[in-house]
Structure 1
């Protein structure tokens, strides 16, 4: 009896062996042991010594093998691969090889939860470490197919996976498709393990509806976040409150927007969430400016500048500068207002250019992927052709069969090449359409700002009218009407006199007359009309012949006389 007491004391003093610490994970479904698995991952991550960490994982794997629990063993393998890839930053080629091998093992052994987690990890690798969005989306599409085949109650991480796919589409501003994934996430069973992700999905779904201007639906999901009671709910409630305030701002319901945005602003400042603080202060500055409370507006403009700098988010300046431009209009400082209007256009164009570059990068990655597949197919074809040639020398009897095989593969290669060219051409059209949309949006934003200035101080508009004429872009009939309105202020009656003097002028020739009157080069005219300089030279020659001018100089003199 006296001998047993010291032994019991020793057992209490020393840590539990592996088999006691993790035996509750044995032969359980993933849903039953998910919290335990993640607790095991935390324990392993907290081991600072990598040698001790590997030793610990090997102990757990031996324990799993002794108990014939293959799923637990693979879970430990998954941790090692994930941790070394994203925490220890091992060489990327090594990480990629291990991630692919992990996925292959999960597929071969048909372990649903491990297939899904391996696909998600591979997508994260391509997205975060490689910056290859196209390959990441390929993994996300495969992950989506796996999720459709899994029952939610059997895979608690489904909400997280759906959320991650949705955020990938949200990143590329495909709000409608992103929203479909968030909708699938928010209807899943909510447990302490999933509640954080589901509330994130509710909030981001509200943002999708906000971007799509479906504000009532957006309100609904933000209010759903406000109903939650989990421990970290305070953060999400503050964020959702600010988003509800944004909806009220968009409705111009300022009296309801102010308290919501102020709660978000002061709450964000308290926890050093500078990005949210900047977003709320920009809207509050615009509201108080519109209400005529310029001093209060100026204070929030200052807060916005400070928090944008602290958050290191200069892209928010594209939202702040228009507010500052309107503020200076309200104070009568039209010169500063125009400067900030120009700054806002620069910031907006920079933001749009960066986003367009991401889309172009993804499109190029898609083309590169197709080229790579074609090269592999071409290499395979070349190898098969060499084998066929050798067989021809050895087995003359099979000449006819080999010719048929070669013909088939050659036709296959041609078909692949034609398909690739068609896809590349289609992609070029998409990229061109994207650039045109961005260009058109820039024009629209600029016209809106000009109209705001005109409505508040018509006389101030004339200050930079000639510069604005030179910076105009005439691509559509609407652009021509806008340009003509501005041109008539600088050269009253010119267009009407030109029509009367030269009634045979076409619309495009009349536009050339107007652009020539403001004394800009043929290259600049081409840029404004969206055509080549050669086209402008041909048009100038045609007009001169049509109206009987001796040379270009005479024509320019006549234009200036109109």
Structure 2
């Protein structure tokens, strides 16, 4: 018994331990809780079992509802929609439908910048899953409009959104437009949360200028990456080092390029970044070949081939094959040199053909989209015309019907009003009589109960408790609060212990527990609570099933032990 009391005390002192880790998310602005929200997403994603994952999300949503935090609940819903769309085997049309509904809900409720995040998710789905680049760009443009009216300090994910839009244009080699989005991203406040995307934007901005053959500007933005003070961006310092080395290579400043490229290469190997390792090794191989160090060059050619295979990036062969062709020419093997020159042309043509196909696809998607809009506009105009004609006909019919029945309603209106008044008065009298009878019976039964309590607990009588009970009623919530206060004086701590032992009890069921404690009959309890005895029997049965008591006797014994 003492052990049980001790356990109940611990539960009282440390309530809801499962959700304590989420208390800091309650009723906070998105800027205040963005790191916690992403930690929450990561914790949920790490749950391997989908059943456990759904159970956990339901618990968190219930926790949010209990604390009246609609924003936290919607954040969990957003996670579920995103997870099912991108990481679970769900039909694409189902995923697309859920993403669109999520966007509608986010637009309607407009909390925690869910509209912007939903637009980004929908754009990413069109891009990665559907391969519909034009629809993806439409969502990105809507997202851009959303960001124009958003304050960066209130929405920490703005840098990520701008960077993602810029990378979409960068993918299609529209470097001039892409760099404007990257410039908007890099001027935003840099924090531990935003440093990765901001330095990604700085680095990619340097690549834009590299592609535009403006190496001075390219160097500037690569060097901007080195200025970050956040350790989370260390990987981008390494990547920017390699890209800066490539600029030195393009300027034929090999002595400065080599240590930068080697640092990128060996750092990439240690981090299993095989794509970057392949890029650095290709440039190093060409530099060493040009410096006449064919043996060292061959080593990096081998590294390049190996890392291209590991990274599964065969497009990089179009850059490697020309280097290999020059290497064999320097080694005097002109036949192999010609073979690799042919291979480089084939790889380059394959890459250009695939990229051209993507551009053609996007152009066709744009045309299809315009045609759909035109067809929809024509269909809408025709539909509006037909609806206007139908509405006019319906209006005429309605006016005719109104004219016919208006006289009837006017004649019946006064009679109906009188009938309603009479019915209302009769009903009020019946209700008043029932309430008076119930009140009288409740007082009568309560007096009997108080007499029993006085005989069982004379000390409480001395304290004047039962005299106060005699003057009270338990017909309203306020009456119950007053009764509970007196009851606690007679049975200190009983109601609190009952709540801790059986947290699933409803308020009505807890009242039943309290009244059962003073050992009165079901009929008497019904009178106290103002309900029928059958209702008490149903409540007793429901409690027994809910708390898994074998029978009523066991339940009464448990109540007496509390």
Task: Name the SS of the counterpart of 2:28 in structure 1.
Answer: coil
| CA distances 1:137-164 after superposition (whole Å, capped 9, x unpaired) | 0000000111111100000111111111
What TM-score comes out, normalization by structure 1 length? Answer: 0.66
CA contact under 8 A between 2:294 and 2:327: conserved in structure 1? yes
Return closer, same or farther for 1:295/1:9 CA change in 2, 3 Å cut-off.
same
Residue 254 of structure 2: aligned partner: 254
1:7 and 2:44 aligned: no
1:472-499 superposed Cα distances (whole Å, 9 cap, x missing partner): xxxxxxxxxxxxxxxxxxxxxxxxxxxx
Q: What displacement does 1:167 show? A: 0.9
Unmatched 5+ residue regions in structure 1?
Answer: 397-562
Q: Tell me how far apart the structure 2 counterparts of residues 243 and 261 of structure 1 sit (CA, whole Å).
A: 8
Q: C-alpha separation between the residues in 2 aligned to 1:76 and 1:344?
A: 50
The 1:390–1:233 alpha-carbon spacing in structure 2 relative to 1, beyond 3 Å, is closer
How far does residue 273 in structure 1 lie from its aligned partner after superposition?
A: 2.0
- Matched residue, 2:17: 16
Q: For residues 153 and 388 of structure 1, what CA distance do their matches in structure 2 show?
A: 49
Contact 1:285–1:300 under 8 Å retained in 2: yes
- 1:76–1:340 CA distance, 2 compared to 1 (3 A): same
Bigger mean CA deviation after superposition, 122-131 or 222-231: 222-231
The answer as to whether partners of 2:152 and 2:158 remain within 8 angstroms in 1 is yes
Matching residue of 1:226: 226
Q: What are the within-5 Å matches in structure 2 for residues 112-511 of structure 1?
A: 113-384=113-384
Per-residue CA deviations over 1:506-544 (Å, capped at 9, x if unaligned) read xxxxxxxxxxxxxxxxxxxxxxxxxxxxxxxxxxxxxxx
Hey, what's the Cα distance between the residues in 2 that align with 1:391 and 1:238? 68
Give, in angstroms, the shift of residue 168 of structure 1.
0.8
TM-superposed CA distance for 1:227, in Å, is 2.9
Could you tell me which runs of 5 or more consecutive residues in structure 2 were left unpaired when the two chains were aligned: 397-562
Aligned to 1:532: none
TM-superposed CA distance for 1:255, in Å, is 0.8
Quote the Cα distance in structure 1 between the aligned partners of 2:394 and 2:196: 69
Does the Cα contact within 8 Å between 2:195 and 2:233 map onto a contact in 1? no
How far does residue 29 in structure 1 lie from its aligned partner after superposition?
0.9
Aligned to 1:50: 50
Task: Tell me if the contact between 2:269 and 2:277 (Cα under 8 Å) persists in the aligned partners.
Answer: yes
**Which residue of the partner structure matches residue 89 of structure 1?**
89
Contact kept, 8 Å, 2:308 with 2:316, in 1: the verdict is yes
Shift of 1:385: 5.6
Q: Which has the larger radius of gyration?
A: 2
The count of aligned residue pairs is 395
Alpha-carbon deviations, 1:183-224, whole Å to 9, x = none?
111111111111111111111111111111121221122222
Assess, with a 3 A threshold, how the Cα gap between structure 1 residues 391 and 7 changes in structure 2: closer, same or farther: closer
Paired residue for 2:533? none
Aligned to 2:32: 32
What's the TM-score once normalised by structure 2's chain length?
A: 0.66
| 1:549 alignment counterpart | none
Q: Find the aligned partners of 2:170 and 2:181 in 1 and give their Cα distance.
A: 10
How much is the aligned-residue C-alpha RMSD, in angstroms?
2.6
Secondary structure of the corresponding residue to residue 307 of structure 2: helix
C-alpha distance after superposition, 1:18-60 (max 9, x if no partner):
3x44232222111011112122222322333333333332333
Question: How has the CA–CA distance of structure 1 residues 36 and 303 changed in structure 2, closer, same or farther, with 3 Å as cutoff?
Answer: closer
Q: What does residue 424 of structure 2 align with?
A: none
Cα deviation code 1:115-155 (max 9, x no counterpart): 11010111111011101110000000000111111100000
CA contact (8 A) 2:192 2:232 kept: no
Residues 306 and 50 of structure 1, relative CA distance in 2, 3 Å threshold: closer
* Structure 1, 84-93 or 352-361: larger mean CA deviation: 84-93
1:320-373 superposed Cα distances (whole Å, 9 cap, x missing partner): 111122222223332322222222111111111111011011111111112222
Distance (whole Å) between structure 1 residues aligned to residue 117 and residue 387 of structure 2:
41
- Deviation (angstroms), 1:389: 7.7
Q: Which moved more, 1:236-245 or 1:367-376?
A: 367-376
- CA–CA distance in structure 2, aligned partners of residues 36 and 393 of structure 1: 59
8 Å contact 1:112–1:146 — kept in the other structure? Answer: no
CA pair 56-312 structure 1, distance change in 2 beyond 3 A: closer
Structure 1 residues 66, 245: CA separation in 2 closer, same or farther (over 3 Å shift)? Answer: same
Alignment deviations for residues 43-80 of structure 1 (CA, whole Å, 9 cap, x no partner):
32233333333333233333333333222221121111
Give the Cα–Cα distance (whole angstroms) in 2 for the partners of residues 296 and 58 of structure 1.
Answer: 59
The alpha-carbon deviation at position 257 of structure 1 amounts to: 0.7
Shift of residue 301, structure 1, vs aligned partner: 1.8
Runs of 4+ in structure 1 over 6 Å off: 11-15, 388-396
Equivalent residues of 1:112, 1:150 under 8 A apart: no
Post-superposition shift, 1:295?
2.0
**Displacement of 1:166:** 0.9
- Secondary structure of the corresponding residue to residue 255 of structure 1: helix
